[in-house]
Structure 1
Amino acid sequence: MSDNIPFHIQEEIMKRLPVRSLIQFRCVSKAWKSVIDSSAFIAAHSIHRHTHPQHLLVSYQDPIDEVNYVSFVDDHTLPQQRSLPIVPPFIKQLIHPKVVGSSHGLICFFGSDFTFTTGMAVLWNPSIRKSIDVVVPGRSFIGFGVCPVTSDPKIVSITQSWDYQNIETSYPCKVMVYTLSSGKWRNLSTNLPPKRLSSSGLVVITDQYIYWRAEVPTHNAIMSFDLTHENFEVIDLPDSLACREFGDLYTYKLRESLAMLQYKENICNVWTMDHGVQRSFTKLFTIKTPHEIVGFRKTGVPIMHVPNDDDDDDEGSKLVVYEPNSEQNNVLEMTGSPFSFYVKSYMETLLLFGRCDSTSY
């Protein structure tokens, strides 16, 4: 950049540049390297992540039960810009690894070690190929997100004991929070979820909240965790969703909002939650399709899991993006014969830059 441009203006411009360019620009001058390497710049670059390229990370299984990963650039070139990311070796050592979600450019994986007794989470930034392994205490389900105020990654571990003979006497939840800045777990003692709440299904992460699909004693609901204030809330669903069969509902992220998918025969109703005072839900659109939606592009276009027409199970399935304007199906190419898919979107950021790959206990 020209020396005639004030340095603070240069810094503002750099906050909006893609990661690959910033890595190269560190070699331009000591001043630029010092700025780009600073924790303040890394946090500020993450805040401007909506100006950075978005990617779709697809994990899929093949007939021999091996998990594979492929990444696509989610822009007008889709599906041409395809790459095979170098996944951290520890992820491949996990038993049944699942992608929990992505936040501020970090992707969280969760699985068990080879003993099946210890939970392990992996925080991975695919843009800079950095990862942190975290031992998760107890047998629990987890959530993950980056605090929008501090840019500090957090993992939330929730453990609940059940007395199936008498649900009323079930033990309350035990909640622990891990922050990357401290490298430690700590107990939460207040603002815990109701003791008669169970959660399952996909985790959805927006800018400030982690969401789980949940069952309270009489109906379906949503449980949220505020990453800034670290408190839980149970959010009621509209009657048409609250009283549906639990297995008919799925949660996904649509743009920056929580989406609820309600299936009935070959029809899928897509609802989104408005972050107003009432946390109201609005039916966005209805899709007539026999296929399962497994994610959305940043434009809101659905991504579908389409089984092959052949009767031969070895032929696998396809991942298809349906573009309603052109009425075209774009197939996201995989290797082998995949039969199940998970799709998560992530932005390019510098979070974890300058850190060594490590394990946190």
Structure 2
Amino acid sequence: MIEILKRLPPKTLIRFLSVSKLWSSIIRGQYFMKLYLNESLTKPKSLVFVFRKPYLLASSEVNLKLAHEVSDAASSLATYYHVTIRTQQLTKISPPVHGLICYGPPSKLVVYNPCTRRSVTLPKINAGRRAINHYLGYDPINNDYKVLCIIRGMHKLSNRRGLAEEILVLTLRSSTHQDSWRTMMNIQDNYIIPHHSPVSDELCINGVLYYQAFTGTKLNESAIMSFDVRSEKLAIIKGPCTFRTFSKLTSYEGKLAVVFFEKKISGIIALWVLQDPSKEEWSKKTFVLPSATTFKK
């Protein structure tokens, strides 16, 4: 029965929760969840995208392989989930991390599962008027989801960027009772927050959460922060080159990569891949984009 259930779509599993207590306990069990996630990873990749309307947040997931195979008339078959959520206007949505997304203003962060359409509202953070950056990470070893929140203050030499003053971590639980926010000071004795100003662009790869940041005395130098979701350690990784701002963090062959668009030469993309995080070693790959006339042909 488990072999059959793990091959079914999420919508069908949600309906089967009402069949019996036995089926419900099997589907909600940790063993089946891990089995189902591993089975899902063998299927064609999907794209989760979000678009905004005033006070609304819509999330859709499209199977990339299926979307290329169906015709325009049947393109709606490629859309698996379409969810509309009423939310505040100033809402930041984190990238999907192992099937979950985190969105909302700092006063009311929500972790949401587009497949099951279930959500969890996190405890409120009392930061006063200080700005907050939030990030979602996943530890594949312990199967833990954690939310990282960085409270930013104003920098004396730069009014545009806030310096990280306090770092909070929360571990998500399967039960209705959630943990409270923990500060990094309580996690690591004598821990000093690295001097940096966080940027929203982030990515989680193999249990490590990466996000862009500005460092230096004037916060004008680019860097990448790495947060080990399991050990909850934060470190700084120097950027791959002299660029002051990054274009986009991405994953290349299971490694962190940074995409730069060359300004001097049109149609050229530079991809810097982090080969060794401990030694801060980067390798560069160059790609040439097809011209607009190529697409028309």
Provide TM-score, normalisation by structure 1. Answer: 0.63
Equivalence for 1:146: 138
Partners of 1:136 and 1:157 within 8 A in 2: no
Does the alignment pair 1:231 with 2:233?
A: yes
Alpha carbons 2:166, 2:193 under 8 Å: kept: no
Is contact 2:60-2:83 (8 Å) kept?
no
Q: CA deviation at 1:178?
A: 1.3
Q: Is the 8 A contact 1:272 1:283 kept in 2?
A: yes
Question: CA deviation digits over 1:188-237, x for unaligned, max 9?
Answer: 11355412x11214111223011111222173221011111100111123
Q: Report if aligned partners of 1:15, 1:41 keep a CA contact under 8 Å in 2.
A: yes
Q: 2:226·2:237 contact (CA, 8 Å) conserved in 1? A: yes
What is the RMSD computed on CA atoms of the aligned residues?
3.5
Deviations 1:93-149 (A, max 9, x none): 2222222121121111132xxxxxx53221111111101122344231111122223
Kept in 2: contact 1:101–1:203 (CA 8 A): yes
Question: Structure 2 CA distance, aligned partners of 1:94 and 1:289?
Answer: 39
Q: State whether residues 48 and 96 of structure 2, in contact with CA within 8 Å, keep that contact through their aligned partners in structure 1.
A: no
Alignment partner of 1:85 is 2:85: no
Q: Matched residues in 1 for 2:120 and 2:212: separation?
A: 27
Task: Find the aligned partners of 1:149 and 1:220 in 2 and give their Cα distance.
Answer: 30
- Give 1:150 deviation, angstroms: 2.8
Residue 157 of structure 1, CA deviation: 0.7
**Structure 1, gaps ≥5 residues long:** 2-9, 112-117, 292-326, 330-361
Q: Secondary structure at the match of 2:108?
A: strand
Q: How far, CA to CA, are the matches of 1:162 and 1:203 in structure 2?
A: 22
* Partner of residue 39, structure 1: 30
Asked if 2 retains the 8 angstrom alpha-carbon contact of 1:202 and 1:252, the reply is: no
Summarize the Cα distance change of 1:279–1:23 in structure 2 as closer, same or farther, 3 Å threshold.
farther
Distance 1:39 1:25, change over 3 A: same
Q: Distance in 1 between matches of 2:229 and 2:212?
A: 17
Aligned residues: 268
In the TM superposition, residue 52 of structure 1 has moved relative to its aligned partner by: 4.3
Residue 260 (structure 1) shift: 0.7
State the one-letter code of the partner of 1:263: F
Q: Summarize the Cα distance change of 1:289–1:94 in structure 2 as closer, same or farther, 3 Å threshold.
A: farther
Separation of aligned partners in 2, 1:132 and 1:198: 28
Cα distance in structure 2, aligned partners of 1:68 and 1:34: 31
Shift of 1:275: 5.5
The one-letter code matched in structure 1 to 2:63 is: V
Q: Counterparts in 2 of 1:303-314, with a 5 A limit?
A: none
Helix, strand or coil at the partner of 1:86: strand
Identity %: 22
Kept in 2, the 8 Å contact 1:251–1:261? The answer is: yes
1:288 paired residue number: 289
Which protein, 1 or 2, shows the higher relative CO under an 8 Å CA cutoff with sep ≥ 6? 1
Alignment partner of 1:210 is 2:216: no
Indicate how the Cα distance of structure 1 residues 121 and 228 shifts in structure 2: closer, same or farther if over 3 A, else same: same
Name the CA distance, whole Å, in 2 between partners of 1:274 and 1:214: 20
Change (3 A) 1:14 1:187: same
Residues 298-322 of structure 1, C-alpha deviation per residue, up to 9 Å, x if partnerless? xxxxxxxxxxxxxxxxxxxxxxxxx
Q: Which amino acid aligns with 2:272?
A: W
Q: Is contact 1:125-1:131 (8 Å) kept?
A: yes
Cα distance in structure 2, aligned partners of 1:26 and 1:166: 54
Q: Quick one: distance in 2 between partners of 1:171 and 1:25?
A: 49
1:340 is matched with which residue? none
**CA–CA distance in 1 between the matches of 2:21 and 2:52?**
46
In the TM superposition, residue 26 of structure 1 has moved relative to its aligned partner by 5.2
1:55: Cα distance to partner? 2.4
Matched, 1:58 2:49: yes
Task: From 80, 105, 119, give the equivalent of 2:107.
Answer: 119
For 2:277 and 2:156, locate their aligned partners in 1 and report how far apart those are by CA, in whole Å.
Answer: 37
Q: Distance in 1 between matches of 2:164 and 2:229?
A: 21
Q: Does 1:263 align with 2:251?
A: no
Is this contact kept in 2: 1:173–1:192, CA < 8 A?
Answer: no
Instruction: Spell out, residue by residue over 1:243-269, the C-alpha distance to the aligned partner (whole angstroms, 9 max, x if none).
Output: 1132x5322345643221112223321
Change (3 A) 1:66 1:21: closer
1:179 aligns with 171
Which residue, 99, 102, 114 being the options, matches 1:105? 99
